[in-house]
Structure 1
């Protein structure tokens, strides 16, 4: 029972997914299941129009472009189809005007069918061709927007897009009135006018700066003259400067090599100094005692060496002990000088 229930759920999911995928595929490919009639139209320019683009009447999609080909070497022939049911039950009027219009600012286009002057009961037979006189190519947006470039430069991107799309719609006859376009342009102009105070403040501040500079034009001239002299002096001594830079570079390289060569020995010396400082620190008491007794001993040494480069001493007595390696200690008899000098 569990297996059967899971299989039924899986089947329902597969069917629903397949239906949704099919609807999406038909929407993307513009598939139609109604009966259609085919017609052709001659244009002087259809740049940007693609096969399967929409064919619309009053903004409602009623067909699609089937084929685009070159006609008589300098013109374009567009083959399109329209739904047989609905607006064109009796066929396409022979006075129909066909215009290439912009669908959006991304450059997508479509064919717009409008009613033109002529006999209302005169219809084109299926496969008929609408002549060049009854067609109109798309607007040249490059030329159009070049005229609005100064305004676009000072607007926000969203305002530019909105204004540009309204311009296209108005010139294609799709906007409500030209007054709405003018009203929008006026609102944007007012926005720029609202910034007039800020622009005026900037100009006033600039005038103040220029006035201050003008009041000190003597100092400014002197500064410019001194700066020019400095730059001229640097230019005259550029060879010496270049030579100095080269010498500094060479000195840097030599110093780097010297440090590289001396680094091992310097490292050993630093390590030896560390050991010496540790030894002195451990025997601080002895070092301190030696430093305290050294002045008196040096004084005595100076006295006995004052006669020349030798020590002048008079021995009054001597007592010696000799220790032989691995043997006893021998002590010599004490020698005492009975001279009056020693008493």
Structure 2
């Protein structure tokens, strides 16, 4: 075999390795340095921060403005066990006593991020948000307990739409109520016992609402309105 026939594949392998290395460096830099501007340090206390990890994004209105730097278990002033999340924000943003922080799903595979709302609003500037200003994490699989037989009749697209609408609603986005009710109407068409589906969903969402400490009023509104929109389609 000639040297040229050996060198040509070798150069392709080297080039592929170089491209992979560049992509690796870009990804690592993206994880460690989400913003190019100076940042300031903050903390927030959660009754549940499961699923959130160091280096997770911190976002304001969907835009990355910082990173989670650490998560530590501690006790607050009321001697309640909490997860203290340390994070950074771009220096041109600040928190006030009206700001809120929530653990949200970045995608349905379970990756989560810290969402900050009410940043830069009027109010006294603070460096720490207590549990009254945070919305804890929850396990989306709790919503599907008892619904597996019905979910098996849905297409992947319908399941993804149902899941996305559920995540939006359960994380306190008021725009998620209407789409979630529509998803439940679609879901209930695949079973002869609609009342059982509704009852299961109400039970599951009531349980999740309790874990959130009643901090998502959309859930309470959902529990009040769930029967009317579905029954109206009968």
Greater Rg by CA: 1
Unaligned stretches of 5+ in structure 1?
A: 1-12, 194-343
Mapped partners of 1:120, 1:147: distance in 2: 45
Q: Partner of 1:122 in structure 2?
A: 124
What is the aligned counterpart of 2:85 among 61, 69, 78? Answer: 78
Mapped partners of 1:134, 1:45: distance in 2: 13
* Pair 1:35-2:38 in alignment: yes
Superposition CA RMSD, Å:
3.0
TM-score by structure 1 length? Answer: 0.44
Unaligned stretches of 5+ in structure 2?
A: 1-14, 192-234
Which gives a bigger RCO, structure 1 or 2 (Cα 8 Å, sep 6+)?
2
If each structure's helix is expressed as a fraction of its own residues, which one has the higher value? Answer: 1
SS at match of 1:144: helix
Q: Partner of 1:131 in structure 2?
A: 130
After superposition, give the CA deviation of every residue in 1:58-92 in whole Å (9 maximum; x if it has no partner). 2221111001111127211110000113xx1xx22
SS at match of 1:113: strand
TM-score by structure 2 length? Answer: 0.62
SS at match of 1:180: helix
Native 8 Å contact 1:62 1:83 kept in 2: yes
Q: Partner of 1:152 in structure 2?
A: 151
Taking a change above 3 Å as real, the CA distance of residues 74 and 27 of structure 1, as seen in their structure-2 partners, is same
Mapped partners of 1:177, 1:74: distance in 2: 31
If each structure's strand is expressed as a fraction of its own residues, which one has the higher value? Answer: 2
Native 8 Å contact 2:31 2:55 kept in 1: no
Mapped partners of 2:152, 2:131: distance in 1: 38
SS at match of 1:176: helix
Native 8 Å contact 1:30 1:52 kept in 2: no
